[in-house]
Structure 1
């Protein structure tokens, strides 16, 4: 849950709109995402990512949990969309975002944290283009971006932002459904055990007559 002192960032509508006008090129398989991130780091604060950093980024995007080809493509699309959001002047100049950037040690460090956390949180949950074409996809990605950027959506208190995030988080809802299924299975197992015990006790009482 966001801390009470988490700064307020841009409006959720701003981030959602930016996703809605994302360039189609970001979905092309030929996009070299590590190079995109490296160019963004230079633009943000002049940081030159060294070769080892780029290799680690490429390895993170190509491996990790969910290594099938579709997962690799999805990771790269999500990182490209994060870069597109970071490039938005309305995001970068927001006072709350500036405060969040200062807290983590600078624009590039801030950007790389979002790049890492968003793709790990959202990989494999939706078809790639659904993140920009579907309302619920834009909502989930926009909230994930702001969450990992270290800011609250404008006009939302920490508790409200947390509740709304959990309401749109595909991973959370999936885990919730699984947990409910486990609890239901346990309840049914307990009910069967109690029924069997009652039947056994009834049989014993009958045998004593």
Structure 2
């Protein structure tokens, strides 16, 4: 990013509609491990959130409010920066629609647990969540330019095909989030983007996060967690903040520091709001059943292939 005329932190601020007073953070010095000062922004509750101003990088003409539509249908025509028409928290139908997007990915949690590697602690990620500038919780937070700026910092040093594909996978999830028209999904995605960007403002995490599962982590929090817990609670409520931190670490491919798989799984299961949500838990049970059927079919095919190979 050294070649860029505009510092990363300022472009980040522009993407979410912050002005310099809204993000009073100096540019970290190269090689310095000292975290930047904490932004003095009340981000604990939705009432403290100031609606984002139009992005400098993506300024658009003002538009009339979008016509209402049935919950969970259509695309977000309200615009990235003004939040007009965005629903603040999902109705039951919207929550189901967000979960459907998550289930469509067919992410296998058993496989994900087997591949987890040690990462930062849940407390460390929770602290980063508590430092989020208020504009990231605005209904109209501009997640597309925000994602593009963050991905540029993450992948600009590499032109490898794999890195390009990972960036495109993240942007595909961002577009899905925008298409839902859900404020909860939008703000959930913005908080994940904040966790990735916060290294630039508060110094690197104690253990670097893997980049292999960025799209999965983004989808997990924007679709799975945001369907049952408003993202404002990820910041303002200690238990929900711990849940969000643990979900973020798990779907990013990490075990919280100091915890083995059994401990991490037990704590996350206790925290998991989706499992505890009576209205949506059945959807999760059905999804897990489909995954189990898929596992059995895959195991049967593997045995058949092995038998054919041995007979040859």
Query: TM over 0.5: same fold?
Result: yes
Specify which of 153, 161, 177 is matched with residue 61 of structure 1.
Answer: 177
Give the superposition deviation at 1:134: 0.6
1:115: Cα distance to partner? 1.2
Query: Could you say what secondary structure the match of 1:129 adopts?
Result: helix
Question: 2:296 corresponds to which residue?
Answer: none
Equivalent residue number for residue 21 of structure 1: 131
Q: How many residues align?
A: 163
Question: Partner of 1:131 in structure 2?
Answer: 234
The offset of 1:172, in angstroms, is 1.3
The equivalent residue for 2:183 is: 73
Q: What's 2:150 paired with?
A: 40
Deviations along 1:46-78, one digit per CA (max 9) or x if unpaired, are: 17979x878744541134xxx4x5xx1111101
Q: State the shift of 1:26 in Å.
A: 0.6
More helix by share: 1
Report matched runs for 1:35-184 at 5 Å: 35-46=145-156, 56-63=172-179, 67=180, 69=181, 72-89=182-199, 94-95=206-207, 97=209, 100-101=210-211, 104=212, 110-174=213-277
Q: Which has the larger radius of gyration?
A: 1
Are the aligned partners of 2:120 and 2:205 in contact in 1 as well (CA < 8 Å)?
no
* 1:6 positional shift: 2.5
1:191 alignment partner in structure 2:
none
CA contact under 8 A between 2:115 and 2:253: conserved in structure 1? Answer: no
Change (3 A) 1:79 1:55: closer
Classify 1:13/1:58 alpha carbon distance in 2 versus 1 (closer, same or farther; 3 Å): closer
Check conservation: 1:34, 1:57, Cα contact below 8 A.
no
- Distance of 1:143 and 1:95 partners within structure 2: 15
Other-structure match for 2:57: none
Cα distance change of structure 1 residues 55 and 147 upon mapping to structure 2, 3 Å threshold: closer
**Unaligned segments of structure 1, at least 5 residues:** 105-109, 180-209
Bigger Cα displacement from structure 2, 4-13 vs 38-47 = 4-13
Q: Return the alpha-carbon distance in structure 1 between the equivalents of residues 171 and 117 of structure 2.
A: 33
Any idea what SS the aligned residue of 2:229 has? Answer: coil
157 and 167 in structure 1: CA distance in 2 versus 1, 3 angstrom threshold: same
The structure showing larger relative contact order (alpha-carbon pairs under 8 Å, at least 6 residues apart) is 1
Which structure 2 residue ranges, 5 or more long, are not aligned? Answer: 1-109, 283-312
Q: TM-score, normalised by structure 1?
A: 0.66
Distance 1:53 1:4 in 2: 22
- Runs (4 or more) in structure 1 with deviation over 3 Å come to 1-5, 47-50, 52-59, 90-96, 175-179
